[in-house]
Amino acid sequence: MGGQACVLYGAAEFSRDIDLAILADLQNLNRLRGALSDLRARVIAVPPLDAKHLRRGHAVHFRCYHPETLHIRIDVMSRMRGMDAFPKLWARRTTLMLPDGLSCELLSLPDLVRAKKTQRDKDWPMLRRLLEAHYFAHRASPGSARVAFWLKELRTPELLVEVARRHPSPCRRMTARRPLLAHALAGDLGEIARGLHAEEMAEREKDRQYWSSLRRELEFLRRSRRMR
């Protein structure tokens, strides 16, 4: 659900860790503990691996110490801001087959885009590249669903103008949901850029607010652990 998924979708990124979205039930957590044991992975921060923390929206962080995966970090989550519950994410997943025959289950592209709208600086350039990669891969055979997705999510002013000019009718219909599309129809790159910045700032603020209460919980857990 993170940088590795972006790589597999064609948006190259150097990623030092692996982010996993999981179903936080007892059977699945036991399977995860077995896999982490094989990797000699240890929790490196609070909270511990526990369903109640995952269901609250916390991430659990691990560092691997197996010689073949030495120091690789694994972050595990089950609930993410503004996203559906795991069963719905799983139903919409993308399955890719790697050359060695291993299958990888990824967040669907729309869900991955949603997950990347955070307060972290590094996520926004990645999000732009991810959407550009999808557009360039499919613009020769767009289809109504892809056009709607691009109009809703693209973050490159020039590409928004291009999509608006090629598909003006759906663009007009979507301006109520995304006002900057009116500027895309007019070809006003400066106003589009300002609209994109406003969208980003609003999402960053939502993410800060979401994590503020969770950070307080983490601080309580840290203090409790130090007092033991």
Interval 27-59: pLDDT, tens = 999 999 999 999 999 999 889 999 999 999 999
Which SS3 state, helix, strand or coil, does residue 144 take? helix
Same-domain check for residues 103 and 59: yes
Give 224's pLDDT tier (boundaries 50, 70, 90).
confident
Q: Does the residue 116 lie in any domain?
A: no
Report the side by side order of strands in the sheet with 60-63: 17-21, 73-77, 60-63, 42-43
Contact 207, 117 (CB under 8 A): yes
Same-domain check for residues 11 and 91: yes
Answer yes or no: is pLDDT of 228 > 70.
Answer: no
**The two three-digit tokens of residue 168, written as one number:** 């003006």
Same-domain check for residues 58 and 143: no
Answer yes or no: is pLDDT of 4 > 90.
Answer: no
Q: Does the residue 176 lie in any domain?
A: yes
Q: Does the residue 224 lie in any domain?
A: no
Same-domain check for residues 12 and 80: yes
The dihedral formed by the CA atoms of 144, 147, 151 and 152, expressed in degrees to the nearest 10: 60
Same-domain check for residues 75 and 33: yes
Give 13's pLDDT tier (boundaries 50, 70, 90).
low
Q: Does the residue 118 lie in any domain?
A: no
Answer yes or no: is pLDDT of 74 > 90.
Answer: yes
What does the mean pLDDT of the chain come to?
A: 93
Same-domain check for residues 176 and 137: yes
Q: Structural domain tally of the chain? A: 2
Please give the Cα distance from 178 to 5 (Å, whole number).
27
Domain that holds residue 96: 3-110
What share of the chain in percent tops pLDDT 70? Answer: 97
Same-domain check for residues 132 and 184: yes
Tell me which amino acid residue 93 is.
R
Answer yes or no: is pLDDT of 227 > 70.
Answer: no
Same-domain check for residues 33 and 68: yes
Structural domain ending residue among the three candidates 84, 110, 136 = 110
Kindly report the pTM of this predicted structure: 0.90
Q: Does the residue 221 lie in any domain?
A: no
Q: Does the residue 12 lie in any domain?
A: yes
Element (H, E) at 62: strand 60-63
**60-63 and 73-77 beta bridge pairing:** antiparallel
Contact 189, 158 (CB under 8 A): yes
DSSP bridge pairs for 103: 97
Same-domain check for residues 131 and 195: yes
Average pLDDT over residues 163-181: 97
Answer yes or no: is pLDDT of 152 > 90.
Answer: yes
Contact 123, 116 (CB under 8 A): yes
Same-domain check for residues 89 and 147: no
Answer yes or no: is pLDDT of 69 > 70.
Answer: yes
Please give the Cα distance from 76 to 72 (Å, whole number).
13
Same-domain check for residues 199 and 103: no
Q: Does the residue 158 lie in any domain?
A: yes
